[in-house]
Structure 1
Amino acid sequence: MDVLVNNAGIGVPGTVENTDTPTWRHVFAADVEGVFFASRAALPHLRRVGGCIVNVGSVSGLGADWGLAAYNAAKGALVNLTNAMALDHGHEGVRVNAVHPSLTRTPVAAPIFENADILAAFRQRIPMQRPAEPAEVADVIAFLASSEARFVNGAHIPVDGGLSASNGQPRMF
């Protein structure tokens, strides 16, 4: 193994007020604890071979979504866990980076693609006016895992069609 890609996550709708404790813990177990435990197990080997870790976060960890408090908090924790791992293990020859996709055409996102109004709202907000294809996210992961990124450590790359370039205000012109 040369590369560990931590690509697990679940999002459950809910605000802080209406997210119950088991749901909160379930989201954090998948989105943060899985990364922690898999990385901890892989680090001794990755250190020996000069490998790397690529965490798959979300634009929801860089800026929040309405009504997804647990998911936003977990992906935000993943951002800073990535930073901590890059600091702690970069000098050991293990690079740690993250990609942060927005809406991506996957089975998990199927309900969004089945709702024309929600899909239209995403298209309006994403400057490239479409969701990502899984291969477009995978290409960035492959770059970060390659020797071409040999001096990239602690980077967070949004794979979002330009979504994160916006300050959030609506298009006015």
Structure 2
Amino acid sequence: MRSKLFSNSIIEKLFDAFVDSARLAAAAIDLPLDEVSVSASEFVRAISDAELDLEHSADLYLGGEDNYFHGNRRSYSLARIAGCIAFRLNRYRTLQILSDRQDIAASKFQELVIVFFAFHVLVKEEPPQRLLAELTYALKARDINQEALSLIFQTVVDLRGGDKAHVFKEHF
């Protein structure tokens, strides 16, 4: 049986934060909240896959800066966690727009929410405006992997002088 990196309470907090990110993104594109559906089951499936990815990367990169031990448990940089979660959230249909809205902003809504969520909730940084559009496009085109996402998140943190290599559970 595999270990569970994210407790049920952390998953619930992450889901609540994801819903809040959807509210922010909806307001940014003038999308009424009653036209947005968030799937808790798809969210949990994405988190479960991200957990497997993190455990696999720990096995591959044991001892690297991105993965280190605290006592007897593994710990990961927030950027690595953000990259894995963002990548997996993008693979599931966690968000649905219930209206017939067909504009470009609506077509990239899920990807915009994922970028907001990754930056605001996971790495605790404001996304750079130019990067926001590029990451949204890359996720929409499915032209980016979790390692590249992790590097982008870590680069933003490093350029802003932050040290986000602490234990994820300290966030919640």
Q: Under a length normalisation based on structure 1, what TM-score does the superposition of the two structures give?
A: 0.32
Structure with the larger RCO, 1 or 2 (CA within 8 Å, 6+ apart): 2
TM-score with structure 2 setting the length: 0.32
Whose radius of gyration is greater, 1 or 2? 1
